[in-house]
Amino acid sequence: MTATPAIRFERVHKTYRGASQPALSDVSFDIAPGEFFGLLGPNGAGKTSLISILAGLSRADSGRVSVLGHDVVDDYAAARARLGVVPQELVFDPFFSVRETLRFQCGYFGIPADERWIEELLNELGLLSKADANMRQLSGGMKRRVLVAQALVHRPPVIVLDEPTAGVDVELRQTLWQFIARLNREQGTTVLLTTHYLEEAEALCGRIGMLKGGKLVALDRTSALLSGRSHQVLRFKTDQALPEGLDARVTGRIAQIKAHDAAEVEQILARLRAGGVTVEDLEIGRADLEDVFLEIIHAEHA
């Protein structure tokens, strides 16, 4: 017997008033219970629109979205009770302490505050020292931690993390991912993650979907997306400009160039030597998720 999907998107279509192109066009895919799923795409691809429809903040023009079999429109209360959402924006009530905020959040779902679980969330997310501080007194990173705790306080079996580590420090990123990965592993919590940090998606997500222009252009296991690339990547550091015509991705001092075989590697190195480019810390490795993402997003027909 096939398990009910944790999240199901069926032919979801959405066009905003005045827009010339749809934000979402016939998007369909399932996320299985217990999956750690990554939803990727450039800005404007439709990720936030899809999550807004899932969370009940927006309505699709057509199609259906469900959480563990509960339609987000027709059975909104049941769907929302099974879903925890960490939004991109720092939204908070300035009149309450951190602990009070979590207690009130339980009330929104009609359940009594579980003080032991609240204490565990405060501890796991590094908020114990700020538990009785007013929300206005917290830094941006601490407010982000509270948003995560709010999303988890009613113990939802499905959680959505919409750019949860955007603009936060390394410590929070590590703390958050350790805790979320443990919930996914030990409690079977389903996780839907959107992020621009592709190394996070590669490390955490077992399966990935990519949106481009409101359409789903890739959907596969992360390992399959990576193994499906036939080329290797030369990575090195340099302070010089690269020769013209060399197809490279440059980030600061780090350059990355695709090569399909040993002969092409030698040709690239010969061009660099001829161009007087000093190469440091040269390594040759497989394509990473960022390479795959750029290849798919820039492809004319994905």
> What is the pLDDT, as a whole number, of residue 71?
95
Domain that holds residue 269: 230-286
Query: What amino acid is encoded at 133 in this protein?
Result: A
66-71 contacts, C-beta under 8 A, 24 or more apart: 66/5, 66/7, 66/8, 66/10, 67/6, 67/7, 67/158, 68/4, 68/5, 68/6, 68/33, 68/157, 68/158, 69/4, 69/5
What's residue 208's pLDDT? 96
CATH number of residue 85's parent domain: 3.40.50.300
Q: What is the pLDDT of residue 35?
A: 96
Radius of gyration over every alpha carbon of the chain, rounded to an integer in angstroms: 22
Q: Are residues 21 and 39 in the same domain?
A: yes
Q: Based on the domain organization, do 55 and 137 belong to the same domain?
A: yes
C-alpha 38/C-alpha 41 separation (Å) is: 10
Looking at the structure, tell me whether residues 206 and 247 fall in a common domain.
Answer: no
Whether 38 and 180 share a structural domain: yes
Same domain? 220 vs 241: no
- The whole-angstrom separation of Cα 159 and Cα 68 is 12
Q: How far is CA 231 from the centre of its chain?
A: 26
Q: What is the pLDDT of residue 253?
A: 83
CA pair distance 269, 225, nearest whole angstrom: 28
pLDDT attached to residue 47: 93
Half-sphere exposure of 205 (CA within 13 A, CB side): 30
Structurally, how many domains does the chain consist of? 2
Looking at the structure, tell me whether residues 218 and 237 fall in a common domain.
no
Predicted local confidence at residue 185, as pLDDT = 92
Q: What are the tokens at 92?
A: 């908070």
Residue 153 resides in a domain: yes
In terms of domains, do 127 and 242 share one?
no
* Three-state secondary-structure class, residue 250: strand
Residue 2 per-residue DSSP state: P
DSSP state of 97: B
- The pLDDT assigned to 192 comes to 97
User: Are 29 and 90 members of one domain?
Assistant: yes
Do the domain assignments include residue 272? yes
CA distance readout (Å), 201 to 37, 88, 268:
8, 17, 30
Whether 258 and 218 map to the same domain: the answer is no
- Which pLDDT does position 20 carry in this prediction? 85
Residue partners of 282: CB distance under 8 A and separation at least 6: 234, 235, 236
Residues of the chain with pLDDT under 70: 1-2, 167, 228-231, 300-302
Residues 121 and 177 occupy one common structural domain? yes
Q: Are residues 180 and 268 in the same domain?
A: no
How do residues 5-32 score in pLDDT, each as one tens digit?
A: 999 999 999 999 888 899 999 999 999 9
Tell me: do 164 and 259 sit in the same domain: no
What integer pLDDT is reported at residue 2 of this predicted model?
Answer: 66
